[in-house]
Chain A
Amino acid sequence: MNARIVTFSNHGDTTLLEYDPASADMDEVNKVVAEYEAKTGAQPFDMATGERIKKVTRKQNEVLMVHPISGG
């Protein structure tokens, strides 16, 4: 089963990255996540626990990048 990095955009949920957690280079996955975080300010949350994560590991099957929310 593939793991996914997803986010919500104007189009609804959007898969940013899909990879095989068994064979993927997790450093590369985290690099992509870090780049996306730096670019958009979105933070990764584990969709299995609902918790904010600092680093994506092979255990996570779905990570949601939550874009920052600001006061209206």
Chain B
Amino acid sequence: MPWLLLALTWPAECDVASLGRRPGWQVNGGANMVSLTVSLAFLALIAWRLVFARLQGKPIAKEIVDPRLPRNTLLDRVGLAVIVGDRFERGAQNVDLFEQEDRAKAYLRRIVALTEAMQIGDNYVLEIGTTRFHVHDRYVRRLRGVSDPKFEYEETCFCLQYTRLPTNEQIARALLALANNPALFDRWAARSQRLRPTARRSSERRGIG
């Protein structure tokens, strides 16, 4: 843009004070020249900004309206958010950690009530028939035959897809899953190869359970 270069490198002789009368120039020709230069520079900036925005805007726009992305018809019908890929629209991700924890606690309380579990210290005790589960953070113990002294506690651990899931939600999820399918314990234990008797029932009387 030579005219922009010209505007930026206009020599000192073009100062209003240094301008004398020149053929074809008005008395205030210097002032006109300065305003012309400023206008040209301003136009150049606008043009540059438009070109720059156009160059940068293309891929962004393409990303947003990429026609290859699957469209969700539900979005059109009910006008509400739904996930696309791994992106989630709403929930606890937009709140701070304290609120996330509060929400997790609220969910855990609801699920404890739903499954009729009971909180004892850090454990959540879930009884299904004659089987009792003690659910901790990624850890669960089982006692089959609550009233039968010949049974011992077995324990195993479990893991979740989301490793940074708040502890309360991990426990809530395990409680809900076990309440609906107590046999999951065996599946977890088989997977972890850690099924083992850990404590005799007498330990429960000592307050460990």
Say whether, besides A12-B91, A24-B77, A29-B74, A70 and B159 are in contact (CB < 8 Å). yes
Which residue from chain B places its CB closest to the CB of A6 in the assembled complex?
B91
Q: What chain B residues lie within 8 Å of A47 (beta carbons)?
A: 110, 114
Q: Is the CB of A15 within 8 A of B156?
A: no
**How far, in angstroms, from A32 to B177 measured CA to CA in the complex?**
22
Interface size in chain B (residues, C-beta < 8 A): 54
**What are the interface flags for B145-173 relative to A under an 8 Å C-beta threshold, 1 for contact and 0 otherwise?**
00000000000111111111110010011
- Would you give the shortest CB distance from A13 to chain B, in whole angstroms? 5
Q: How far, in whole Å, are A15 and B174 apart by their CA atoms in the complex?
A: 20
A44 to B104, CA, bound (A): 18
Contact between chains at A10 and B72 (CB < 8 Å)? no
* B184 touching A69, Cβ below 8 Å: yes
Interface size counted on chain A using CB atoms at 8 A: 38
Q: A8-B165, A10-B163, A50-B115 are in contact. Are A28 and B73 (CB under 8 A)?
A: yes
Contact status B74-A72, CB under 8 Å: no
Closest to B82 in A: A17
Cross-chain contact A10 with B164 (CB below 8 angstroms): yes
Q: How many A-B residue pairs have CB under 8 A?
A: 139
Check if B74 sits within 8 Å of A12, measured CB to CB. Answer: no
Assess the A13–B104 pair: CB atoms within 8 A: yes
Contact between chains at A12 and B93 (CB < 8 Å): yes
Q: Which residues of B contact A36 (CB under 8 A)?
A: 83
CA distance A52 to B95 in the complex (A): 29
User: Are B165 and A17 interface neighbours, CB within 8 A?
Assistant: no
Flag the segment in B20-28, B31-39, B185-193 that touches A: B185-193
Q: Are A19's CB and B74's CB within 8 A?
A: yes
B90 CB contacts on chain A under 8 angstroms:
14-15, 18
Residue in contact with B176 in the complex, picked from A19, A29, A50, CB distance below 8 Å? A50
Complex contact B74–A11 (CB within 8 A) = no
Partner of B158, one of A14, A24, A70: A70
- Are A20 and B111 also in contact (CB < 8 A) when A14-B91, A66-B173, A69-B159 are? no
Which 10 A-B pairs rank lowest in CB-CB distance, beginning with the nearest?
A71-B191, A12-B92, A50-B114, A11-B93, A14-B91, A71-B192, A72-B157, A71-B188, A12-B100, A15-B90
- Knowing that A9-B162, A12-B100, A17-B81 are A-B contacts, what are 13 other residue pairs whose CB atoms are under 8 Å apart, sorted by A's residue number? A10-B163, A13-B103, A15-B89, A16-B83, A24-B78, A50-B179, A64-B176, A66-B173, A66-B177, A67-B161, A70-B191, A71-B159, A71-B188
